[in-house]
Each structure stands twice: as C-alpha cells, then as structure tokens.
Amino acid sequence: MSENPTDLRVVRTKQAIRSALIALMEEKGFEAICVKDITERATINRGTFYSHYEDKFDLMDKCQEQLLKEMETKIVPNIPKLIEETKQDDAGPMPISALMPFFEFLRANQSFMKALLGPRGDAAFQVKMKECLHRGLFGQEHAIFKAEGLLVPPRYLASYIASAHIGIIQEWLNGGAIEPPEDIARIISGMTIKGPLFAAGIRQKPDA
Amino acid sequence: MSENPTDLRVVRTKQAIRSALIALMEEKGFEAICVKDITERATINRGTFYSHYEDKFDLMDKCQEQLLKEMETKIVPNIPKLIEETKQDDAGPMPISALMPFFEFLRANQSFMKALLGPRGDAAFQVKMKECLHRGLFGQEHAIFKAEGLLVPPRYLASYIASAHIGIIQEWLNGGAIEPPEDIARIISGMTIKGPLFAAGIRQKPDA
DNA sequence: AAGTAAAACGACAGTTTGTTTATTATCTTA
DNA sequence: TAAGATAATAAACAAACTGTCGTTTTACTT
C-alpha cells in the first residue's frame, strides 16, 4: 500500500524478504518455496510477511513488476538508435551500442534473472519479458518493422525474435554471464540480421 | 514399477489421472493443482493416486518423459531428409516435409503441449524440449552443423535456434493451432535459413 | 523523550500431504 | 465360470503449511 516507505524497518524487511526469495529460488525453485522458508531465511516473523504481501505469489508479482519496469527503461529509449544502426549496417560492425544498457542491466540483476529464466523459474515471467521485448521493438511509433508488407505474419516474426533473444540470454546467464555484454549483443544482432545459419558461417550468401 | 500394465483397472486409472492433470493444467496451472484436485477430477480415491505416483511432481515427470520420448521419434528419423532439403534450397520451396511429422505430433497433443508451454506451464519442460531439439539437430552423427569453423559459439547458435522454434510453436498453439503444419514449417524454416528480418521482407539481399 | 507504527510472539482453525488400515470390487487365467 | 490375485475404496492419522488475530515488545520518527 505505502508508496514511499520512509520507515527504515519497512525497507529492511522488504529487502530481506526479496533477498530470501531470490536465494531460495536458486536453491529450490519457486514452486518448492513456502512462506515459512522465506521468513526463516529473512529472519523475520511470519506474520510480518503477511502484513506486506498477500502470499508468495503476490511477492513474486511485485518483484517481477519492478524488474520489468526497470528493464523496459533500458530498451525503449534506445530504439531510435537501434533503428539507425540496423539500417546502415550491412557489412560493417553489428549494431550493439543501443543494446548495451539492456545487457548491462541483465548482468547487474544476474541472480534474479537467472532464477526467473532458469528451469525452476516462472514461465509467466518469460511471457511478460517477451511482451516487453515486443513492445520495445514493435510498439513504438517509429517501429522497426512496419506491420505491412511482411512475408511472415507479424505475430510469428515477433515470437521468433523475442524467443530467440531470451534463449540467448538464458544461455548467457546460465554460463555465469562471463562474456562481456558487447559480445552477446554482437552475437544476437548478427544472427537476427543476417540469419542464424549465415551468421554462424554455415550458409554463404543467401540471395533471394 | 509395472512396465506393461495388463490390468485394465490400472490402465483406466492412469488415463483418468493424466486427463485430469491436463485439464487442471489448463484451468489453474500446475502450481495451483493439489493431489486432491486430481483425484476428484479423475474420480478415484486419493490413496489410489499414491499407489501409482509419488506425488504430483512424479506424475508430471512421467507424463513429460513419455511426451518427449515420442517427440524425439518425430524428429530424429527425419534429420537426414532435412539436411538434404536445407542444402539444396536457396530460392526454391522451403524444406518442410521433414518437419511435418513433428508439427503434426504437436498438433495431435495440442492441449497438453499448450498447457506445458503456456504461461502457467513448466519452465523445466521448455528446457527439456530445447535439449530435445538440440539433440535432434546437433547430436546426430550426420549433424547439420559441424561444430568447427562457426563464427558464433555453438551453444549460442543452438540456443537461438531452439528457443526461436519453441517461440513459434507457443504462438501457434496459443492461437489454437489453426494454421496447417505446413505453413508453420514454412515460416520457421524461412526465418532460420534466410534470417528473420530477411524472411519477413524487411531486409533485402544480405551479402557479406 | 513521547507518541506512533512496525515487528515479534503465540495461538487458531482449516487445508493439504503422505501413510496405513481393513474392506470391497474387479480383473486375469486356469 | 469359479478361485485367487490384486487394484480400488473408505476412513483415519500425524505432520506441515496457510492465513488471520490479538497482545506485547521493539525501534523509528519528530
């Protein structure tokens, strides 16, 4: 309810609860977590949990919402830049600078992201994240892809690209996000623009 | 334990349990299902459930395992054909015939697949399915992609392609799998071989 | 330093879980 | 088709988790 919690106790408890959630997600997965687990890990009273959240699902929702809100911030403002770079590219370097804030954000929130997108994560979050990417790429007034004249139904184009990106992110996080964000941005852009097989060096010169 | 259940009672109950699981998955999602729900829906005694499965997770595992086993059957035997078609294509029709059994299988198991891959589904299943696709494409002796000379790390190539495919499948199932399998196969192949942007008609003639 | 609000504590009934018992129903096969 | 085997039912059990409440204690704000 409280928008701006000024009381330090509230801030502390909420932080403890969220940290506990993330830690437990990595250990057991959300499904196996019960409220008792969370409160024990956060060393707070169980009743206190219920004074902040309805149940563990409510907690999860709030955490995801916050994350997605921030995430969108890292994408939307960079769309115009991305369009520029995508258009002018053909042989030169891949358009990566526009994607950097996004991947840096993912790395900064590594543990939670990994837990959410991992095998014990939340399928609903993947859907939300796809929608986020979708809005970022298609929902703008200066959208990359005008929905006219496509050879493939827009839904499928969007699904393909969004899912592929999430797949790369999962792989990246799963390996500990060792590679610098630039590398990942380059890999993703290359495969999306030139096509996965071509970018990988398997197919050569695909002409119509 | 029993490999081949000859007793009709066993067959009946197991079938009832699985049907109940699928129905409830669509309604509430796996997370919200309890054993009591399943047994009530299946109109069997709760004790009977426990004589067949350890818990709802065990049931889920068994169902997924069976599905994945069959699924692999629809992919692996068609890999050689797929390679042929992928190689010879450049301007002609997309290689689709090799993918048909796979998409037909998905459609035949529509409700369960949709539930598993949907927002209330199981993230672990998506991972397993990606591994399945991965094995199908990379794990063969006559693999499509030799792991040498790739411009993109093989892990990322595989993740990209597998995730993109699953994304398309999700979109397809989510819309009720209205389009015939051929159409979906064509869309998927096109984007993978020529690249999503090119296949969509946004970029033209991508040369190195 | 006083007033206020949060957190802790402990208890509550209601569910769900997994196990176990004795009993009934049903299938297999001889 | 009858006998024996085995699956399914019914009912009860402790244990764990849930969500809620009222009271007491703690600690933050001003």
Q: Name the percent of chain A lying above pLDDT 90.
A: 67
Report which of A23, A143, A4, A158 is spatially closest to residue A83, judged by C-alpha positions: A143
Residue B207 domain-assigned (yes or no): no
Show pLDDT as tens, one digit a residue, over chain B (208 residues): 335 668 999 999 999 999 999 999 999 999 999 999 999 999 999 999 999 999 999 999 999 999 999 999 998 888 778 777 776 655 555 667 889 999 999 999 999 999 999 999 999 999 999 999 988 877 766 566 666 677 899 999 999 999 999 999 999 999 999 999 999 999 999 999 889 988 777 765 544 3
Shared domain for A46 and A92, answered yes or no, is no
Q: Is residue A113 part of a domain?
A: yes
Contact positions of strand C to protein Cβ (< 7 A) = 5-11, 16-21, 26-29
Do B37 and B71 sit in the same domain of this protein?
no
| Inter-chain residue contact A191 with B155, CB threshold 8 Å | no
Number of CB atoms found within 10 A of residue A55's CB: 11
Residue A92, pLDDT above cutoff 60: no
- Whether A31 has its CB under 8 Å from any CB of chain B: the answer is yes
Q: A67 and A45 in one domain?
A: no
Strand, coil or helix: what is B196? helix
**Angle of helix B100-108 relative to helix B110-117, nearest 10 degrees?**
90
Q: Which nucleotide is nearest to A49 (CA to C1')?
A: C7
A138 with A109, same domain?
yes
* Contact (CB<8Å) B163/A153: no
Domain presence at residue A206: no
In terms of domains, do B18 and B100 share one? Answer: no
Residue A189 has pLDDT above 60, yes or no: yes
Helices and strands (DSSP H and E) totals, chain A: 11, 0
Nucleotide with C1' nearest the B34 CA? C16
By residue range, what is the domain housing residue B32?
8-53
Same domain, A69 and A148: yes
Position A58 confidence tier, pLDDT thresholds 50, 70, 90: very high
Return the SS3 of B164: helix
Would you say residue B206 lies in a domain? Answer: no
Average pLDDT, chain A: 88
Domain count, chain A: 2
What CATH number is associated with residue B43? 1.10.10.60
B142 and B74 co-located in one domain = yes
Is the same domain home to A136 and A36?
no
Which residue, among B57, B68, B51, B39, has the nearest Cα to B10 in the 3D structure? B51
Q: How far is CA B87 from the centre of its chain?
A: 25
What does the pLDDT read at residue A77? 86
Say if residue A26 is in the same domain as residue A127. no
Q: What is the pLDDT of residue B184?
A: 96
- pLDDT of the residue at B23: 95
The pLDDT, as a whole number, for residue A198 is 83
What distance lies between CA B116 and its chain's CA centroid? 9
Say if residue A2's pLDDT is above 50. no
Same domain as B91, residue B15:
no
More confident residue, B90 or A1: B90
At residue A203, the pLDDT reads 66
Would you state the pLDDT for residue B79?
78
Classify B55 in phi/psi space as left (phi over 0), alpha (psi -120 to 50) or beta. Answer: beta
Please state, in angstroms and rounded to a whole number, the distance separating the CA atoms of residues A87 and A79: 12
Residue entry with tokens 């790390």: B153
**Same domain, yes or no, for B47 and B72?**
no
The answer to whether B195 contacts A194, with C-beta atoms less than 8 Å apart, is yes
- Distance, Å, A6 CA → D29 C1': 9
